[in-house]
Structure 1
Amino acid sequence: MASYERFAQVYDALMTDIPYDEYVEWIKAYAPQAKYPTLLDIGCGTGVLAALLDEAGYQVSGIDLSEEMLMVASARFAAANKSIPLISMSMEQLEGFHELDIAIIPIDSINYLREEQAVIETLQRIYDSLRQGGQLFFDVHSLYKMDEIFLESPFTYDDGEITYVWHTEQGKEPHSIYHYMTFFAEATEGLYERFDEEHYQRTFAPEKYEAWLYAIGFSEVHITADWSTEQPEEESERIFIRAIK
């Protein structure tokens, strides 16, 4: 289990390749914000996407298991004079939300759940939290990315302030990966502090997610890939799933 204690401090720098604006546009395309709909950001991390959705006209709340991530998000919102409620909560224990218009699990957050039952429990709790007609948006790593691309490590990054070396190893379950990351973050001018992170992710075939969603009771499930409206292909890397209650 990743602690995120130091990882939260470098997370934003490492996510610069994520087109958050496109995520907002995906949601806006299918869930117009004319009536200021309620939106729960599940696994909200440091709050980058939540802030953008707030600016787009959604009534946003966020949950995340990591209190360190939520501290960074809270500071971000305070600096922008935003009032976005944040709660420390694991997604598979989601409770206390009712009649939501929209729920999102962005940037492969659901891939941190190792067991099938935990994924199903999370999707069920989201279903129970949505209003009739409410929508769930989430994305996952593809089987191809998990089984092939991630195994092409080591990966490296260096922007002068943060350096990391990222090794991967095939996990115990099918379509799973251990991520081993060593970071060197500038503490004072010319001096760097080392810290290490270990993460574990697992994904499933799009057909499995689809079957689970329908079994739970969602009336429609739409699956696309790689920030497009196209259907997944063999070498698609990120799978996008939208489900309607």
Structure 2
Amino acid sequence: MNYEQFAYLYDQLMKDAPYDEWLTFTKEKLHLYLPEAKELLDVGCGTGELLLRLAKNGYDVTGVDLSSDMLVVANNKVEAAKVTAKLFEQDMRHLEGLGHFDAVLTYCDSLNYLPNEDDVQAAFLAFNRSLKDNGLLLLDVHSCYKMDEIFTGQIFADDDENISYIWKVFEGEFPYSVEHDLTFFVQNEDQTYARYEEFHEQRTYTIEQYKQWLEEAGFSVLEISADFGKEITEISERIFFVARKK
């Protein structure tokens, strides 16, 4: 399956994603640390679900994604909702010409798709350059526990009305990394099914390592939490960082 096909299936596959919780988390942290924030950059915006919610809540939102097809879907949603948002096809490691923002957001484990340490550090530097003085960075990543104990070795499956999938997860080459092998069966108009395959790799790092890289990139880490603001435990699945540009 190419990204064009995957982009148009993405929303159906992600129908249970916690977009409203990401919205609430964003609003709470902006209100707490930068209540005057207005201009936001949504990095890895995908098909625009969070971006649309932010725009409807009165924020001036710009979205970037590596997939032009994801951005086509996002733009269609923006036009249908009659809101304003700017969309750009860019790599999060090399953000250019976008201006400066009050806050940069990157959720839904977008950072975990970067293949190595240098790429994560490059992304943090790009986020810093994209922020106004004292601007905020809000992000989440998979926890090491989730990679090793929840993902690795698991098989997930779903049989929906017109799309089914089998999702196998294997241990990756590096510590705290996984390989996702997905097979989709999509119903055609003539009731036959087309089979598509996708392969994705994800990698995460320890909380201490992320904190070090953020500080080296010019951020002060204000808050680290888990699972939308909860206290971090050994079985936390998603780690959140709130950091301020120095």
TM-score by length of 1: 0.94
Whole-Å separation in 2 of the counterparts to 1:205 and 1:179 = 21
Which moves more between the two structures, 31-40 or 9-18? 31-40
Match of 1:212 in 2: 213
Whole-Å separation in 1 of the counterparts to 2:216 and 2:94 = 19
Whole-Å separation in 2 of the counterparts to 1:209 and 1:134 = 18
Match of 1:150 in 2: 151
Q: SS of 2:219's equivalent?
A: coil
Match of 2:203 in 1: 202
Which structure 1 segments of 5+ residues have no match? none
- In structure 2, the CA distance between the partners of 1:12 and 1:157, relative to structure 1 (3 Å rule), is same
Whole-Å separation in 2 of the counterparts to 1:147 and 1:190 = 39
Is the contact between residue 210 and residue 221 of structure 1 (CA under 8 Å) also seen in structure 2?
A: no
Whole-Å separation in 1 of the counterparts to 2:147 and 2:37 = 37
Q: Shift of the alpha carbon at 1:16? A: 2.1
Q: Shift of the alpha carbon at 1:83? A: 2.4
Q: SS of 2:174's equivalent?
A: coil
- Percent identity, aligned pairs only? 43
- In structure 2, the CA distance between the partners of 1:171 and 1:67, relative to structure 1 (3 Å rule), is same
Match of 1:74 in 2: 75
- In structure 2, the CA distance between the partners of 1:117 and 1:54, relative to structure 1 (3 Å rule), is same
Match of 1:28 in 2: 27
- In structure 2, the CA distance between the partners of 1:132 and 1:148, relative to structure 1 (3 Å rule), is same
Q: Is the counterpart of residue 9 in structure 1 residue 8 in structure 2? A: yes
Match of 1:235 in 2: 235
Whole-Å separation in 1 of the counterparts to 2:107 and 2:54 = 12
Match of 1:42 in 2: 43
Q: Shift of the alpha carbon at 1:6? A: 1.4
Whole-Å separation in 2 of the counterparts to 1:177 and 1:5 = 24
Could you say what the CA RMSD is over the residues aligned between the two structures, in angstroms?
Answer: 1.6
Count of aligned residue pairs for this structure pair: 243
Q: Shift of the alpha carbon at 1:35? A: 5.0
Match of 1:85 in 2: 86
Whole-Å separation in 1 of the counterparts to 2:222 and 2:201 = 27
Whole-Å separation in 2 of the counterparts to 1:99 and 1:68 = 25
Q: For 1:56-71, what aligned pairs fall within 5 Å after superposition?
A: 56-71=57-72
Q: For 1:173-212, what aligned pairs fall within 5 Å after superposition?
A: 173-212=174-213
Which 4+ stretches in 1 moved above 4 angstroms? 33-36
Q: SS of 2:4's equivalent?
A: coil
Whole-Å separation in 2 of the counterparts to 1:170 and 1:152 = 7
Is the contact between residue 98 and residue 128 of structure 1 (CA under 8 Å) also seen in structure 2?
A: no
